[in-house]
């Protein structure tokens, strides 16, 4: 079970991984539509008022394309035998934690809390004391913890897949991997905001 | 049970070499200093991997199916063994 959740790439064939990866991407995009989530970057998830069906699908397409390209180039730099399919599969599967995180906005639960909080904050006249219900603080804290766990899970899945795809071993390879994620995050963020669909 | 051929010294972990060979038929013994062939300097797991690679006519895809591993896992194992043999070759030309 631990292997399935953290490193399914060691024993599962690429065809099976691709099938599940695509199915989970479609399901995750639909979940974001249902729960008003936008994946507006490789490691981003934001809840907004209304989301069209097309938006999360395009978000995922851009995020997957950016991350897979960045990691594939890095993988080729580390090991010439790196195949695109072996990079694409972890990129698809590693996004599952973000898809699960959309469930927290059931019935606009999280977006209602954050919106009511933002309404109380006046940027021009910053209050010294904001009146927030303790239950809202608790919920936001729990959500933050869950979001951190999901990001860690995402990185573990992605790294385990990348490690196998590129046969990466050294600490320098880990630095390349981290830089690739950062580059993909910046490029995807800019692309999504520029395209503004 | 077939005894495992020791390839490393149990005392200092350095590589072992052959110092005596014996004919089981006439009991003639030959003494000398012979280093182990590269294949025998690999671990049992690595030797089995090479044997399986040979038996599948070098098809990594078929090996991956037989071993229940993904293709890149099997390819990485092969690359690691190649690297190890290259290192052994450069150490003992």
Residue A39 has pLDDT above 90, yes or no: yes
Q: Do B70 and A14 touch (CB under 8 A)?
A: yes
- Contact with chain B for residue A14, Cβ under 8 A: yes
In the prediction, which pLDDT does A159 show?
97
The predicted structure's pLDDT at residue B6: 87
Cα within 13 Å of Cα(A61), Cβ side:
8
- Is 0.90 exceeded by the ipTM? no
The confidence score (pLDDT) of residue B72 equals 96
Query: Which residue, among A141, A183, A81, has the nearest Cα to B60 in the 3D structure?
Result: A81
Q: Quick one: pLDDT band at residue B2, thresholds 50, 70, 90?
A: confident
Nearest CA in chain A to B71: A13
For A142-172, the pLDDT digits (tens) are 999 999 999 999 999 999 999 999 999 999 9
The domain locations on chain B are: 37-91
In a domain, A1, yes or no: no
* Cβ-defined contact of B71 to A81 (cutoff 8 Å): no
Domain with A138, as residue range(s), is 7-121+130-195
- Determine how many CB atoms are found less than 10 A away from the CB of residue A69: 18
Q: Which of 17-46 (A) contact B at CB < 8 A?
A: 17
A161-190 mean pLDDT: 96
Q: Is A117 a member of any domain?
A: yes
pTM above 0.80, yes or no: yes
Q: How confident is the model at residue A123 (pLDDT cuts 50, 70, 90)?
A: low
Residue A66 forms part of a structural domain: yes
- Number of domain units in chain A: 1
Domain for residue A29, yes or no?
yes
What is the average pLDDT across A122-140?
75
- The predicted-structure confidence for B9-55, as pLDDT tens digits, reads as follows 999 998 889 999 999 999 999 999 988 888 888 988 999 999 999 99
Q: Say yes or no: B66 contacts chain A, CB-CB below 8 A.
A: no
Residues of A in contact with B77 (CB under 8 A): none
Whole-number pLDDT of residue A122: 67
Are the beta carbons of B70 and A11 separated by less than 8 Å? yes
In a domain, A54, yes or no: yes
pLDDT for residue A127 is more than 70 = no
Size of interface A-B (CB pairs under 8 A): 35
Residue of A nearest to B78 (CA): A167
Beta bridge partners of residue B17, listed in sequence order: B35
Q: What does the mean pLDDT of chain A come to?
A: 92
User: How close A70 comes to chain B (CA, Å)?
Assistant: 19
pLDDT attached to residue B92: 74
- Return the higher-pLDDT residue of B16 and A28: A28
Whether A164 sits inside 8 A of B65 (CB atoms) is: no
CA-based torsion, A84, A90, A92, A95: positive or negative: negative
């Amino acid at each position: 079970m631990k292997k399935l959740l953290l490193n399914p790439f060691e024993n599962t064939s690429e065809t099976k991984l691709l099938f599940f990866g695509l199915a989970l991407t479609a399901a995750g995009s639909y979940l974001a539509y249902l729960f008003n989530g936008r994946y507006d970057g490789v490691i981003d998830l934001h809840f907004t008022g209304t989301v069209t069906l097309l938006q999360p699908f395009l978000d995922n397409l851009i995020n997957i394309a950016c991350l897979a390209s960045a990691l594939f180039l890095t993988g080729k730099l580390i090991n010439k035998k790196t195949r695109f399919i072996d990079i694409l599969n972890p990129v698809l599967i590693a996004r599952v934690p973000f898809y699960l995180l959309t469930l927290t906005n059931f019935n606009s639960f999280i977006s209602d809390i954050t919106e009511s909080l933002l309404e109380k904050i006046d940027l021009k006249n910053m209050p010294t004391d904001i009146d927030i219900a303790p239950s809202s603080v608790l919920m936001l804290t729990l959500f933050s913890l869950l979001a951190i766990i999901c990001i860690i899970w995402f990185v573990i899945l992605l790294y385990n897949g990348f490690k196998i795809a590129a046969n990466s071993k050294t600490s320098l390879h880990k630095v390349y991997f981290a830089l690739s994620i950062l580059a993909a995050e910046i490029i995807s963020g800019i692309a999504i905001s520029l395209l503004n669909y | 049970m077939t005894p495992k051929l020791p390839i490393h010294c149990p005392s200092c972990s350095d590589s072992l070499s052959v110092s005596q060979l014996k004919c089981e038929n006439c009991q003639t013994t030959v003494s000398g200093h012979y280093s182990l062939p590269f294949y025998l300097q690999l671990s049992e797991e690595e030797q089995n991997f090479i044997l399986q690679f040979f038996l599948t006519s070098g098809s990594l895809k078929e090996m991956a199916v037989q071993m229940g591993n993904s293709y890149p896992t099997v390819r990485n194992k092969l690359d690691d063994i190649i690297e190890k043999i290259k290192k052994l070759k450069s150490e003992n030309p």
